[in-house]
């Protein structure tokens, strides 16, 4: 088995040396305000009481940078559900989906609930979020987080999302797909074998295909991963654009990013894929993320 390194991305990642540095460096802790439990102003006071450095995230006012913190979960306010510890890059996908209040939302791969609880917050605890995951062990933390943060508009379900069988159709669907998680590699700079990437790519495509099926006409789908591999990102979205009644849309959030790729090696994905976004570790001193937003045709 040939192990590859991050150098396979040398030609597609601008500032590659800065990227490599950021991959290995220690990450700052970021947290997200939970509006169901506390006022934003009060949370700021609570965070200042517990941590030396508290700074609102410039592109997302409900997220806070705490600097280098050892145990951000060991506070009373965390136990009370006043905030959720979440990578800064991971805060972007729910914002890209931007569900309206009172809507019906499906989070296909939801555990441990970072994006589910954020969707619930964006919807101000109205409407319904069906938070699904296949892994029973991970459902425990999903249920615990939903309960700690008092997300009363969330229903938890345990299914293989590729086989979800329901006549219900959703206004918004989030596919936070299982992936090789290269964006969270840090010091482990050797990558997963190519075979793993290919297997995941097929699963990701099946998940996104099911998402299209379960979305209402004119509904919105967000596909995201925390990996850099184009095989798990642009390739998956390009295949779905070919075969499903969906189009790709621009993502209207101001998070620092690079555009999605038109091609990689011998694979051509198309100019439209530039509407997707790639967040690299050096953009935010956070993990990596790929996000694409699709609209189902009416």
DSSP string of 71-132? -TT-SHHHHTTSEEE--TGGGHHHHHH-PPTT-EEEESS-TT-HHHHHHHHHTTT-SEEEEE
CA atoms within 13 A on the CB side of 12: 19
Which of 115, 278, 282, 283 lies at the binding interface for ligand SAM (CB under 6 A)?
115
Using rule CB under 6 A, residue 162 touches ligand SAM: yes
Task: Give the range of 131-139, 148-156, 241-249, 250-258 binding ligand SAM by CB under 6 A.
Answer: 131-139
Q: Which is nearer to ligand SAM, 20 or 212 (CB)?
A: 212
Nearest-approach distance from CB 15 to ligand SAM, in angstroms: 26
- What span, in angstroms and rounded, lies between the C-alpha atoms of 221 and 214? 10
Using rule CB under 6 A, residue 135 touches ligand SAM: yes
Which tokens in the block code for residue 132? 């699904």
In contact, 224 and 218? CB cutoff 8 Å: no
- What span, in angstroms and rounded, lies between the C-alpha atoms of 145 and 160? 21
Using rule CB under 6 A, residue 111 touches ligand SAM: yes
Give residues 168-227 in contact with ligand SAM (rule: CB under 6 A): 176, 178
The residues assigned a catalytic role are 226
Which of 110, 212, 229, 240 lies at the binding interface for ligand SAM (CB under 6 A)?
110
Query: If DSSP codes are grouped into helix, strand and coil, which group holds residue 226?
Result: coil
**Is omega for the bond preceding 112 within 30 degrees of 0, making it cis?**
yes
Which of 160, 249, 258, 262 lies at the binding interface for ligand SAM (CB under 6 A)?
160
Nearest-approach distance from CB 235 to ligand SAM, in angstroms: 18
Nearest-approach distance from CB 168 to ligand SAM, in angstroms: 16
Using rule CB under 6 A, residue 99 touches ligand SAM: no
Using rule CB under 6 A, residue 288 touches ligand SAM: no
Q: What is the 8-class DSSP label of residue 231?
A: G
Using rule CB under 6 A, residue 114 touches ligand SAM: yes
Which of 133, 182, 231, 232 lies at the binding interface for ligand SAM (CB under 6 A)?
133
Q: What is the 8-class DSSP label of residue 285?
A: T
Which of 99, 112, 183, 288 lies at the binding interface for ligand SAM (CB under 6 A)?
112
In contact, 195 and 189? CB cutoff 8 Å: no
Task: Give the range of 26-34, 43-51, 105-113, 234-242 binding ligand SAM by CB under 6 A.
Answer: 105-113
Using rule CB under 6 A, residue 161 touches ligand SAM: yes
- What span, in angstroms and rounded, lies between the C-alpha atoms of 80 and 86? 16
Q: How many residues bind ligand SAM (CB under 6 A)?
A: 18
- What span, in angstroms and rounded, lies between the C-alpha atoms of 224 and 290? 5
Q: Which chain residues interact with ligand SAM by CB under 6 A?
A: 108-115, 132-135, 138, 160-162, 176, 178
């Amino acid at each position: 088995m040939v192990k590859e390194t991050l150098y396979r991305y040398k030609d597609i990642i601008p500032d590659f040396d800065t990227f490599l540095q950021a991959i290995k460096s220690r990450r700052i802790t970021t947290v997200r305000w939970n509006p169901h439990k506390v006022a934003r102003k009060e949370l700021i006071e609570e965070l200042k009481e517990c941590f030396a450095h508290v700074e609102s995230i410039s592109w997302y006012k409900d997220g806070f940078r705490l600097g280098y913190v050892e145990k951000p979960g060991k506070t009373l306010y965390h136990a009370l559900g006043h905030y959720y510890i979440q990578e800064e890059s991971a805060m972007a996908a729910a914002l890209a989906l931007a569900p309206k209040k009172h809507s019906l939302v499906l989070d296909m791969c939801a555990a441990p609930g970072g994006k589910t609880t954020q969707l619930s917050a964006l919807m101000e605890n109205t409407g319904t979020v069906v938070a699904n995951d296949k892994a029973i062990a991970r459902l425990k933390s999903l249920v615990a987080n939903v309960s700690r943060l008092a997300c009363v508009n969330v229903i938890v379900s345990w299914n293989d999302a590729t086989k979800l069988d329901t006549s219900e159709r959703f206004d918004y669907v989030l596919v936070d797909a299982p992936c090789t998680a290269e964006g969270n590699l840090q010091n482990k700079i050797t990558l997963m074998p190519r075979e793993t990437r290919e297997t995941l790519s097929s699963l990701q495509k099946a998940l996104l295909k099911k998402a299209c099926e379960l979305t209402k006409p004119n509904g919105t789908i967000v596909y995201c991963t925390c990996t850099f591999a184009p095989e798990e990102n642009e390739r998956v979205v390009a295949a779905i654009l070919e075969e499903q009644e969906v189009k790709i849309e621009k993502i209207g959030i101001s998070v620092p990013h690079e555009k999605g790729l038109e091609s990689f090696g011998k694979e051509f994905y198309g100019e439209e894929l530039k509407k997707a976004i790639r967040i690299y570790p050096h953009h935010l001193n956070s993990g990596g993320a790929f996000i694409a937003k699709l609209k189902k045709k009416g």
